[in-house]
Amino acid sequence: MHFVVLSSSKGSTFQATINAMNDGTLHAVCAGLVTDRSDRECIQKAEAAGLPYFVVEKKEGEEKEQYDRRISEAIQDLFSKTATSQLLTANSRVIACMGWMWILSPWFIKQWKGRILNVHPSLLPKFGGKGMYGHHVHNAVMAAKESESGMTIHVMDEGVDTGKTLLQKKCPILPDETLETLCSRIGSMEKEWYPKVLEMIENGELSLQ
């Protein structure tokens, strides 16, 4: 399996994935990175690892689908550059969203249906949907006085945070919990489990369909 990373963040989970490839615990191949701005820290991770990347900035007034078409072209380009690209089936090409902050259009989802992974910092279906990302999720969890939270790695579909769940991991809300500590603990879980899920897909232990 080959995967392209979509990221518009610092790239901490991306770095954890690179580390897993380097230490031999992840055997899937990263074909590269697509990001949305030239100042994203995830680019530094790609450069340090010797991975190719594209910066695809959204143009002023550009429609979502048109932007996603350019994103898709960049992804296809990265896949085509891998040495074994001619041997890959369509389902061996996966998109791994790691801190990608743009909601993907129905056109993009259709083009890559059943092949887009995402991680969400809650136990979906709780605290998912539009506006639920990053600290907004953790704030909502704590405001609701939940006894536990966690993270969900799922397949993207046409909805927002509604696709097939591949893996969930829980953590208790501690008595002295703060927004910062909860964010840090769940972030650590994401970095630990995203590479493991990719390896489970590589080994056929998990199916995206």
Cα(209)–Cα(206) distance, integer angstroms = 9
Cα(189)–Cα(200) distance, integer angstroms = 16
Cα(71)–Cα(67) distance, integer angstroms = 6
- Catalytic positions, please? 120
**Alpha-carbon separation of residue 120 from 83, 128, 152, 163 (angstroms):** 32, 8, 5, 11
Q: Do residues 23 and 195 make contact, with C-beta atoms less than 8 angstroms apart?
A: no
Q: Which of 122, 206, 199, 203 lies closest to 161, judged by CA?
A: 122
| DSSP code for 112 | T
Q: What three-state secondary structure class fits 4?
A: strand
The token pair at 74 is 């960049």
115-126 burial, b if ≥16 CB within 10 A, otherwise e? bbbbbbbbbbeb
Instruction: List the alpha helices (DSSP H) in 10-169.
Output: 12-22, 42-49, 64-80, 106-111, 135-143
